[in-house]
Structure 1
Amino acid sequence: MSRPPAAASPAAAMLEVRDLHTRYGRVEALSGIDLRVPEGQIVSVIGANGAGKSTLLNSIMGVLPSSGEVLYRGESLRGVPLEARVAQGIGLVPERRDLFSSMTVADNLHLGAYSRRRLPWKADLDEVYARFPRLLERRKQLAGTLSGGEQQMLAIGRALMGRPKLLLLDEPSLGLAPLIVRDILKIVQGLQQSGVTVLLVEQNARASLAISDYAYVLETGQVGLSGPAGELARDERLSASYLGG
C-alpha cells in the first residue's frame, strides 16, 4: 500500500519576532508584534503612515530599544549591538537612505564594507556594479547629486557590501516615479533570487504584495492582518483600506 506524499516542511525562519514592544517615552509605538520571515522569501509589512513600520525595522536592527524577543537564524539578538548584527548578516536600508551626500558613490560603497574591512571585498564591489551598472558609470560622482532612483540603488548597494543574509528595506519606493518604483522592486526580486531573504516595509501595498510571498498589515502598532501575499491582495478589507478597491 503506497503512502501519501509527505507534506512539505515549512522553510526555516531567518527571522522571528515575538511579542515585540517599542516605546517613545510613554507612547507605545509597537504593541506585541509577532512576525516570521522564512529563509529565502520576501515578506512585506504594509500599513498607513504612523502604523509603526519603520519603528519595527529599527527595533529589529537594534537602533531602538525594545522588549520581547528577536531571533535571527534561531539565536536571540538580545544585547547584540547594531554593529554586531550587521557583521552577523543583517542589513538595513533606511527610509531616508542616509547616504554621505558629499562623498562619491564609490566611497559610499566602500563604507558599506566597513564591517568586513579586514576581509577581501573587491569581488563584492564588482558584484554591486554588475547589479547596478548606473552606479559604475557614476562611481566618481557625489552621492548628493544622484537622482532619487540612483540614490536608492546606492543605498541598496551599500547594504549589499556587508554581504547580508537578511535585508531590511524601509520604503524603497518612497518619492520615486512609478517607472523607477518598478525597477527598484525588480531589483528586490533579483536579490531574493540570489539568496537574500528580504523584509520589505512599504506603503505601496499593491506593488509590495505583487512581489512578496507573505505579508503583515500593521495598524497602530499591532498586526491587524497577515497571510500569503496573493490572498491578502484579494482580501476585501485590505482592498478597501490600502489598494483603492
Structure 2
Amino acid sequence: MLKKLVIVVLLLGIGIGLFVFFKQPNKTMTIGTYEAVPAIEADLQMMTIEMSSSPDDKIHVRLEGKKGSEEKISIDHDATKLVIKEQNENVKWNNFIQVGSQPKIIIQTPKSLANTITISNRDGDTNLKGLAAETIEVKSTTGRVTLQDMTVSKSELQSTDGSITIHKSAIENGNIASTTGNVTVRESTGAALAIQSTDGQIKMMEATEQSDVRLKSKTGDIQVSYKTAPSSLQLSTSGEIVKIDLSNFDQQTRQIGDGANQLSIETKDGVINVK
C-alpha cells in the first residue's frame, strides 16, 4: 500500500512540474546588438527564424520563447559575419519540450548591408521580409520558407517537405527545389527562375513575364497566372493535361509576339494550367 502511495505522489509531482513548466508564458529576450557585417549564417534544428530590416545601422538579435530557451543558441560575431547556432548539447532535457510554437529567433539587420544570408533549418520555419541581399541560401527539411518584399540578386531555396512561398519580391536569378512541399510565387519579378518539385504543386500567381522561367514537377500540378497578358512569350509544355488560356497565343508556333521571353513547363502526372 505504501509503495503504491509513493508512486502516486511521484506521478502527481511530475504532473504538477510539467504543468508549471508548460504554463510558463513566452517572453521576448534581448540576445545582443552587433555591428553590421556582410554575411549572416544560421544553423538551426527546430527554432523558427525571422529576419527583417533594422531600425538603425546595427544588427539586433532577440529570442521569443520560454525561460531557458536562450541557453540553446550560440552567437559568433566578427568583422566578416555573424553566425547563430542552435545548440543540442549541454542543455536540460526539458529545453526540447515545447507546447505550441517553437522558440523564435528574431534578427533585425540593416536592409541592404547583409550581402549574403545563409540558413540551414531542419524543422523550424524561415521567414525573411523587407531585406535586400546579394545572395540568399536556405535549406529546410520540414519547416516552411517564406520570402516577402525582398530584393535579391541570387537565391537558392531547398526544402524536403516544407512549403516555399515568395511574395512581392524581386529575385533576378532564383533556383527553388522541393520534394513534396508546394512552391508558390506571387506578385514577384526577376529575370531567370527555375522551380523543380517531385510531388508538390507549383504556382506562379499574378506573374510577370521573365526572360527564362523553367517549372518542372513529377506528379504535382503546375499553374501560371499572369497579372497582365504576356506580349512576347515562347511557351513550351510537356504533360498529359495542358490548358492554355492566353490572349494572342498562337497554337502553331506556341508563342505570343516575337517570343522573346521563355516559359518552360513540364510535369509527368500533374495538370498544367496557364492563363
Note whether the superposition's TM-score is higher than 0.5.
no
Greater RCO between the two (CA within 8 Å, min separation 6)? 1
Larger Rg: 2
* More strand, by proportion: 2
TM-score (norm 2): 0.28
TM-score (norm 1): 0.31
